[in-house]
Amino acid sequence: MASFDILEIESWERFYRANFINSITGFKSVNLIGTVDTAGRTNLGIFSSIVHIGSNPPLIGYINRPIGAAPHTLANIKATGVYTINHIHPSIVQQAHQTSAKYEVGISEFKEVGLTPEFYENIAAPFVKESNIKYALSLQEIIPIKLNNTFLVIGKVISIHIEKDIISEDGFLHLDKVNSICSNGIDAYYTTELIERFKYAKPGIQPKKLY
Amino acid sequence: MASFDILEIESWERFYRANFINSITGFKSVNLIGTVDTAGRTNLGIFSSIVHIGSNPPLIGYINRPIGAAPHTLANIKATGVYTINHIHPSIVQQAHQTSAKYEVGISEFKEVGLTPEFYENIAAPFVKESNIKYALSLQEIIPIKLNNTFLVIGKVISIHIEKDIISEDGFLHLDKVNSICSNGIDAYYTTELIERFKYAKPGIQPKKLY
């Protein structure tokens, strides 16, 4: 084992530290967030900071970088109050990664990277047609994180579009059956393989497999 | 594709909705958080809401459920200001899942599930000896999320212990080489396989593989 203390961590070169700290947090959900500005121009960005906040009501958060670093998505969400989150599978991972390039305001990443905006009734924000699992959120709260000028953006799930075959009887979704991917660090993408589902754990009882 | 609107989502049975909403957020980082109370009694809990907040300073957050639902971890963090985050690999996934059982206050999950507390100099909180990637955090801020009475708990990384072989020249960590797992929903665990690392994306240039 190698050990590093805070003095050593803080001494690391900026990009080295960014790669390292973005990796120790572990594999993470990576998704495309679709938005639209008030002029109807679409925007698409890749985010790996989606976090489950609660199921009742269905609340999902993501961390938005400081304003200026990636302004389009958050500006659009503020302006319209609605956005979509779209899973990524291996066939579109190159296009998904390419949305992280710094395009000018008003340029649609959909067109630039080759993905297709798709609209469902009553939702102003664009979904990604190629995505197998996608949902829309209504903005609930933007919580500023003063420690580093980032934001926790929280939305309520208002619409879900999903391959029917992956829905289990108990509501669990077999994400691996439609090849949803996860990410590590800032630039690495992974497929997954199920180890096990376990039953609800109780004190003094050995963990049991669900199937 | 199956479509669900907010009225249908809100009509779902509680556990069905919890499974569904916990799955649509995608694969997520799953870790053991180690803490100690002021009497020195150790506690270990499994959390799948770790989120990267920033690398400079190195800030990592997690969502803690409402007080009462899982009080030990947050109470200990508040009392001592320090906690550890420990990756999980397949050999310890059963033990890790079992920490989610509702043990009485003062009962150590380490002993109950069969994992080993490990202490490093100057860090009061216990690490998991069996874990291949582990780090300690110093509490920076607890942000209440009023929408559902949860908390975003943010810590600064102050100490890292990790298998040396997985560290790349650029700081990226090959988490799959030590079999770090991810999770889906509230009870499913997965191994991963690398698809690709991509170079920093630039407008107008096709995404390039890093290796």
Q: What's the whole-number average pLDDT of chain A?
A: 95
Question: Which token pair is B39?
Answer: 């009497």
Q: What's the whole-number average pLDDT of chain B?
A: 95
Under CATH, which number does the domain B14-190 receive?
Answer: 2.30.110.10
Query: Phi and psi of A11, rounded to 5°?
Result: -85, -10
Q: Which comes out higher in pLDDT, residue A99 or A207?
A: A99
Q: Kindly tell me if the per-residue pLDDT of B100 is higher than 90.
A: yes
Separation in Å, CA of A41 to nearest CA in chain B? 18
- The predicted model gives A126-148 an average pLDDT of 98
**Domain assignments of chain A as residue spans, ordered by start:** 11-190
Count CA atoms within 13 Å of residue B124 on its CB side: 16
Window 99-118 of A, Cβ < 8 Å to B: 99-104, 107, 112
Q: Kindly tell me if the per-residue pLDDT of A70 is higher than 60.
A: no
For residue A209, name the pLDDT band (cuts at 50, 70, 90).
Answer: confident
- The predicted model gives A59-85 an average pLDDT of 90
Q: Are A45 and A85 in contact (CB under 8 A)?
A: no
Task: Give residue for tokens 């291996």.
Answer: A90
Q: Kindly tell me if the per-residue pLDDT of A72 is higher than 90.
A: no
Report the C-alpha gap between A16 and A98 in whole angstroms: 21
C-alpha distances in Å from residue A211, one per residue of A52, A197, A198, B187: 25, 7, 8, 12
Q: Which of B73, B58, B71, B38 has the alpha carbon at shortest distance from B135?
A: B58
For residue A210, name the pLDDT band (cuts at 50, 70, 90).
Answer: confident
Q: Which comes out higher in pLDDT, residue B69 or A63?
A: A63
Alpha helices, H only, A54-164 = 71-80, 93-98, 109-113
Taking the CA atoms of A123, A128, A132 and A134 in sequence, report the sign of the dihedral they define: negative
DSSP state of B65: P
Summarised one tens digit per residue, pLDDT across range B111-120 is 999 999 999 9
Look at A168 and B19 and tell me if their CB atoms are within 8 Å: yes
Q: What local confidence, expressed as pLDDT, does residue A80 receive? A: 97
A39/B contact by beta carbon, under 8 A: no
Q: Kindly tell me if the per-residue pLDDT of A47 is higher than 90.
A: yes
Cβ contacts of B145 on chain A, cutoff 8 Å:
53, 141, 143, 152, 154
Summarised one tens digit per residue, pLDDT across range B32-83 is 999 999 999 999 999 999 999 999 999 999 999 988 755 689 999 999 999 9
For residue B187, name the pLDDT band (cuts at 50, 70, 90).
Answer: very high
Strand segments, DSSP code E, in B7-149 are 28-29, 31-36, 42-47, 51-55, 58-64, 82-87, 117-118, 127-128, 133-145
CATH value of A11-190 in 2.40.50.140, 2.60.120.200, 3.50.50.60, 2.30.110.10: 2.30.110.10
Separation in Å, CA of A35 to nearest CA in chain B? 18
Q: Which of B164, B174, B178 has the alpha carbon at shortest distance from B194?
A: B174
- The predicted model gives A87-93 an average pLDDT of 98
Closest partner CB to B190 (pick from A2, A168, A195): A195
Chains A, B: CB contacts within 8 A come to: 376
Q: Are B153 and A150 in contact (CB under 8 A)?
A: no
Cα A193 versus chain centre, distance? 20
> pTM of the full predicted structure?
0.96
Q: Are A200 and B187 in contact (CB under 8 A)?
A: yes
Q: Are A128 and A95 in contact (CB under 8 A)?
A: no
What percent of chain A is predicted at pLDDT more than 70?
98
- The predicted model gives B138-146 an average pLDDT of 98
For residue B92, name the pLDDT band (cuts at 50, 70, 90).
Answer: very high
Report the C-alpha gap between A79 and A73 in whole angstroms: 10
A158/B contact by beta carbon, under 8 A: yes
